[in-house]
Structures are given as structure tokens and as C-alpha cells.
Amino acid sequence: MRIDKLLANMGYGTRKEVKALLKGGNVRINGQPEKSAKVHVDTEKDQVTVMGEEVEYREYIYLMMNKPGDLISATEDAHDTTVIDILQPEDHVFDPFPVGRLDKDTEGLLLITNDGVLNHRLTSPKKNVGKTYYAEIDGRVTEEDVSQFAEGVTLDDGYKTKPGHLVVLSSGEQSEIELTITEGKFHQVKRMFEAVDKKVVYLKRIRIGELDLDEELELGEYRELTDEELQYLMKITKLD
Ligand code: URA
């Protein structure tokens, strides 16, 4: 990779600013001063320093966000603030995007990465990765709903969902539930409840597979996945 691209990717400025950095003699490759922006480096082998500080090259970024209910799950939007808009500049340089979608008013666990392969694997229905939601429902959720969800329910467009695992946490005029589904159809949780004549009034994703939302994260906060969490996601989505 060209040295100017690498340094720009790592957040050392625009290509123009990086060029100036190089011209100013601030960059060394394997100890040797380098002024050309065009020279190529091998990110596996070459040691690059800027003003004496080693540049740690990384290609991918993996973030977990506690999405608030006023951001949209997209990289950019003409009207609304997106989950990417609120990232720090040093994370922006990786060109990350959200893995799958949560509705604007849905809160909770959202993964953000620039790893297209992991994104594809996590969102593929073939992988059967469970996504667990906590929801508050207007209406009394019954054991009959639990059985219907276990069989799959028919949505407004005639599509029959795969089985969903519904756990009733409390049942009354308003109910609290947890639902695990392995698909990601548009507004799926809301539409599954509509199929049994009930309305979701609050929705939060709390888990993907066995990866829990870090409850330490306030709404709108995010952190990098730990190595263990990342290994787990790689393992459950591994190609057979
Ligand atoms: N199901 C929904 O209805 N909305 C979401 O944001 C996620 C799942």
C-alpha cells in the first residue's frame, strides 16, 4: 500500500496533509527517512514511524454501539443523523458501516465495522444467528402467542417467519417480553406482534448470538469489541 494512503487511513490527515508530513521529513520507513508519498510499504513487514512514534496499521474496525432511538442505521442520510455521524474522527477513517439495520426508534446493540465479509456472514439467514430483543408490548402476551411464534407467524405480506423464541417476562395490559429470531425482515419484531394483534411500544436489541450488549454503554456510546467477542463472532459465522 502507498505510504500516503496508509497514513491517511490511520488518521494522520488528508492525503495533502500527509504529503506535507512526508515532505517535512517526519516519516521513517524501517528507520530510513522517506519523503515520497508514492513509495509502497508492506504493512506486515515494514515498520513506519511518524515523528518517532510507530504507526500501528490495522485494516478493520469492529465496534459495538448502544444505539439510541433517534439515529438511523445508515452511513449517510440527507435528513437524519446516522449512527456513523456520531463516531469519533479516528474511527471514521476506516469507512465503517452498520451491520444490518435497527429501526430509527429501536435502541440497543448495533455492530459497526468495515469488514464486509463478517457483515455478510452475520446478516446471512443461512447462518441462523439469533438476535434477541427486549420489548414492551401494548397488550397481554399469552402462552398462545408463545406457541404461535414457535411455529412462525404470517406477516402482513403473507411471509411466514421462521420460528421465534418468545419469553414472557411479565404479562398484563402492557407486557414485557424477550424474543429471539434468526431473520431480519423489515420491521420484523413489530410485524410479528402485529400478526397477533399487538403493538410493540418499545424495542431494544440486547444480544446477537451470545454477544450481549455491554450495559455499561450509555445510549449513543460505543466501544471496540474485545478480542474474545470478535473471535466468538468469527467462530459462529465461520464458513462450513
Ligand atoms: N424488528 C423490528 O421491528 N425493528 C427493529 O429495529 C429490529 C427488529
Q: What residue segments make up the domains of the chain, in order of their start?
A: 3-54, 62-125+211-236, 130-208
185 lines ligand 1 (CB under 6 A): no
Q: Strands, E, within 41-154: which ranges?
A: 48-50, 53-54, 62-67, 97-98, 107-113, 131-138
Task: Check whether 239 has a pLDDT greater than 80.
Answer: no
pLDDT class for 126, splitting at 50, 70, 90? confident
pTM of the model: 0.86
Give catalytic residue positions. 103
Question: Residue 186 half-sphere exposure, CB side, CA atoms within 13 Å?
Answer: 3
Q: Strands, E, within the chain: which ranges?
A: 27-29, 32-33, 48-50, 53-54, 62-67, 97-98, 107-113, 131-138, 165-170, 174-181, 199-208, 211-212, 222-224
161 lines ligand 1 (CB under 6 A): no
Q: Beta strand 32-33 with 27-29: parallel, antiparallel or unpaired?
A: antiparallel
Note the pLDDT tens digit of each residue in 71-108: 999 999 999 999 999 999 889 889 999 999 999 999 99
Measure the CA–CA gap between 122 and 204, rounded to whole angstroms.
18
DSSP conformation class of 116: H
Q: Do domains 3-54 and 62-125+211-236 have the same CATH topology?
A: no
C-alpha cell at 46: 515494514
203 lines ligand 1 (CB under 6 A): yes
Domain covering 3-54, topology: 3.10.290
Ligand 1 pocket test, candidate residues 110, 188, 200, most atoms within 8 A of CB: 188
Measure the CA–CA gap between 49 and 36, rounded to whole angstroms.
14
Architecture of domain 130-208: 2-Layer Sandwich (3.30)
Note the pLDDT tens digit of each residue in 151-163: 999 999 999 999 9
183 lines ligand 1 (CB under 6 A): no
Q: Are 49 and 28 in contact (CB under 8 A)?
A: yes
Helix then strand then coil, % of the chain, to nearest 5: 25, 30, 50
Domain covering 62-125+211-236, topology: Alpha-Beta Plaits (3.30.70)
> Ligand 1: which residue has its CA nearest to atom 3?
187
Task: Check whether 9 has a pLDDT greater than 90.
Answer: no
Q: Are 161 and 186 in contact (CB under 8 A)?
A: no
Note the pLDDT tens digit of each residue in 12-29: 888 899 999 999 999 999
- The per-residue pLDDT for 89 is 87
Rounded average pLDDT over 60-70:
97
Q: Are 218 and 143 in contact (CB under 8 A)?
A: no
**CA 176 to ligand 1 centroid distance, Å:** 16
Measure the CA–CA gap between 13 and 9, rounded to whole angstroms.
8
